[in-house]
Amino acid sequence: MILDFIAANADITTTLIERTSSTVRVQHILQLSLAPVFLLAAIGAVLNVMNTRLIWIVERVNRIEEAEDDGTGGRESEELPALRQRRFLAQAAVNLSTAAALTICLVVALLFISAFIRPQIGTWVAAAWIVAMVQLVLALLLFLLETRAAITSPRERRQISREILRRRHDREG
């Protein structure tokens, strides 16, 4: 069955082999894909840090909520809105970083696909790269906001939490 398909599409097969058999062409595509692949490695390292912070925040929120349920929450319970805000920022940063990594994978795939097809897809590659950079910039900005929120003292977190609750009340009221 596969041989029948290849025989029926001999022209396509011959063209495909001719386009991809050039060592120079393959080397060029590999060179073009190196920068995105190095960026993928960097995003992986940043994602590791972001995930570590996110896990810490989630565990802290869970511990405070459990203590609150047991009636032993104390003043730490007042920090929950600020910690939930940090959790949101960290999760959004992780999501955007992951989306950027996936978009960069798409860029690499498009680079290789471009060797197999006649239509020029450079515009698609450039657009995917721009989307990945926007996602990465937004992720890093959210991560910056989360780390800035992390350096606050417990007293400042309680004040921020009161402000969050006041704004929420004003919107609902």
Q: Is 10 a member of any domain?
A: no
User: How much is the pLDDT for 16?
Assistant: 58
Residue type, 23: T
Q: Is 164 a member of any domain?
A: yes
Q: Is 151 a member of any domain?
A: yes
Q: Is 2 a member of any domain?
A: no
The pLDDT tens digits along the chain (173 residues) read: 555 655 556 666 666 566 656 667 677 777 777 889 899 999 999 999 999 999 999 999 999 999 999 988 788 899 999 999 999 999 999 999 999 999 999 999 998 888 777 788 889 999 999 999 999 999 999 999 999 999 999 899 999 999 999 999 999 97
Q: Is 14 a member of any domain?
A: no
Cα–Cα distance between 37 and 107 in angstroms, integer? Answer: 10
**11, two tokens:** 């022209």
User: How much is the pLDDT for 122?
Assistant: 86
Q: Is 140 a member of any domain?
A: yes
Q: Is 24 a member of any domain?
A: no
The tokens 């921020």 sit on which residue?
160
Phi-psi region of 71 (alpha: psi -120 to 50; beta: other; left: phi over 0): left
> In the chain, how many domains are there?
1
Q: Is 104 a member of any domain?
A: yes
Q: Comparing C-alpha atoms, which of 63, 79, 99, 78 is closest to residue 149?
A: 79
User: How much is the pLDDT for 8?
Assistant: 59
Contacts of 129 (CB under 8 A, 6+ apart): 36, 104, 107
Domain that holds residue 167: 33-172
The tokens 């920068």 sit on which residue?
35
How do the residues of the chain divide into helix, strand and coil, expressed in percent and rounded to 5? Answer: 90, 0, 10
User: How much is the pLDDT for 14?
Assistant: 66
